[in-house]
Amino acid sequence: MKELQEVSKEQRDLYWKKNIRLTTFTLVIWFVVTYVCAFFVKELNNVVIFGFPFGYYMGAQGSLIVFVWLIFNYAFKMNKYDKEFGVEEEEEK
């Protein structure tokens, strides 16, 4: 495993650019699900999914599903970036 300092400056810059892009994407989705859905709950309740108003569904289950997906997506993508740039952690034996 290489340390990030052993990677060229261009590779480090690209690695952090991808990291920041992924983090920004994750935070934007989190913000929308957390605050925008809550702000527009009355309008969202006009949409019915599986017999439940969408605003209620997002508060009860939908947001939790999105949050778990965000965690797994972030972990999967960061592991992919780490391997791509050769800075992945070694697995313990």
Within-domain flag for 92 = no
Q: Which range of residues forms the domain containing residue 46?
A: 8-84
Instruction: Catalogue the long-range contacts made by 5-13 (C-beta closer than 8 Å, 24 or more residues apart).
Output: 7/85, 7/86, 7/87, 11/85
Alpha carbon distance, N-terminus to C-terminus of the chain: 15
Within-domain flag for 32 = yes
Of 20 and 45, the one with more pLDDT:
20
Please tell me the total count of domains within the chain: 1
How much is the mean pLDDT over the chain? 87
Within-domain flag for 3 = no
Residue 28: the pLDDT is 97
pLDDT tens-place string over residues 41-81 = 888 889 988 888 988 888 888 889 999 999 999 999 999 99
Confidence of residue 5 (pLDDT cuts 50, 70, 90): low
